[in-house]
Structure 1
Amino acid sequence: MRARAGRLLSGLVLLAAVGAGAFWWLTKPAPWHAAHWEGLGEPDLANGERVFWAGGCTSCHAAPRAEDDARLVLSGGRPLKSPFGTFYPPNISPDETAGIGGWTLAEFGNAMTRGVGRNGEHLYPSFPFGSYARMTAKDINDLYGYMRTLPKSANVTPPHDLPFPYNIRLALGGWKLLYLTDEPRVQVDSADPKLARGQYLVEGPGHCGECHTPRDALGGFEAGRWLAGAPNPEGEGRIPDITPGSRSIGGWSASDIASYLETGFTPEYDSVGGSMVEVQKNMAKLPASEREAIAAYLKALPPS
């Protein structure tokens, strides 16, 4: 009887070990193969600047209340409070010590699109790699080339302040298994160049869904509610529904949306407010054709 119990215990231990090994294998950090970042040539800095503004890098990585050229100093540290704890965006200036000046293109690209840090660790999805996963290798190369031309900062940011169990990075592999994908969020007419471009900008570098889509208890997007509005992840209030038929922009035309992104004024001559102020400043830097593509995509969405 005792021998049988011992064999049973040994079997359970073996099963647990196999299960743990399988979980680790399925959820370990998965950077791109090195060849993904090869042969891209010299970065197109003009395109890199466009991607930079579309991606809203300054909104989280510039110092609070930075204006004009100071917004280009990506010193990090602006706290992002969430139900999971407080995240501190890092210094991503080209400083070789405090920033990412010593990173390779592959290290930068894997952080951007796979959520894998320079040392092979999982990154927290407070950094919107779940959206950036849709970005092309060319755009990543151009963006990194442009960012290397920006001012350096020696600022050292504090570590994230997260309670247990959210401070355990291993669990992030399970989160990625559930939610990380580069598939389109919705189906639009991909044969229409303007719609295809708008979809790329909104679902990819623009990462609009990170604030405008509601999340479940694990922090992943709720299925079927793309851009349908959500609680403000940083505090009070609500981020509006921006699908057609919504009370926020449902009655706007595509030209109204494009104008709002350029000027910050609604068709009723109200002005942009809240966290959208930073987003609008970034969108105003884009060519008019990019804002028009974003507007066309938003108008083509199914109503929430």
Structure 2
Amino acid sequence: MTLGRSPAGMDAWVVSRPGPMATRPLERVRLPVPEPGPGEVLVEVEACAVCRTDLHLAEGDLPPRRPGTVPGHEVVGRVAGHGQGASRLPRGTRVGVAWLRSTCGRCRHCLRGAENLCPSSTYTGWDADGGYAGYLTAPEDYVHPLPQGPSAEKLAPLLCAGIIGYRALLRSDLPPGGRLGVYGFGASAHLTAQLAVAQGATVHVMTRSARARELALRLGAASAAEAAQAPPEPLDAAILFAPAGELVPVALEALDRGGTLAVAGIHLSDIPVLDYRRHLFQERTLRSVTANTRADARAYLELATGHPPEVTTVAYPFEAADRALADLAADRVEGAAVLLR
């Protein structure tokens, strides 16, 4: 490994005992700086956005894959070292580390360009330690170069909230100039809505937060209403960002004939019984969204850095990671929470 400096250790947050945030599932610890393996780079963390997936991991909705995992997969940092065979990104390069950490590259899903469905895929902050720390390692082929200019605080949410929203928008089959419904309006939704508006769509937002509804209107939504309220016109497509299964029939019923609902989350509460004629008949489609491909990430980051969206963030010091996650759980975050080092 090549390293610019050799720190003795690093502060990190780990999921020690998954459970409700009131039980304090995150624990601040001291860990050794990780050593990058073959093909990996060591990244010194500048910022890490706080994702609802981190909350699902901390609270146990997403079963931990290993004990004491460091969460975080929306990481902005700089290359600080290289493992054997890693040489594409020079030391000091500003990079982003996202959710998708590795795939096999050989299965039928990988070979047809659907690496997000690879049975052997691994994920940052779930299968391997993530960005709630001073450093992390990642396979160089899955690390994304980032521009020097924008602040780390504004770049970090692009690496999951932005990327997964972009894939969800693709999965929703929104036609040009179509009518899009957005259910829930947190980190991912507020970026996706801007992208859809920029592409000429009419966007209707349904969310329980009054502050989020105000933000949606300011960012260009045509309307903003309560989560279970019907939009003012039938929808060509909809995306469910809120992890609330009870909104699935609500969103399906709001679709026009031939419309598609894409469910963007990794976790969803139980979906109520669907009525075939009310919710699915007339060729309405219900789709899930699973992770993203590197091609998705590259395409979205190119769009977002060429025409930057307004990224609404709430900054937290690294020492307050547990408070940031608790605020997210209580819907006290407008936009995206971001940990800054």
**Would you call these one fold, judging by a TM-score over 0.5?**
no
Asked which structure has the greater CA Rg, the reply is 1
TM-score, normalised via structure 1 length: 0.31
**Bigger fraction of residues in helix:** 1
TM-score, normalised via structure 2 length: 0.28
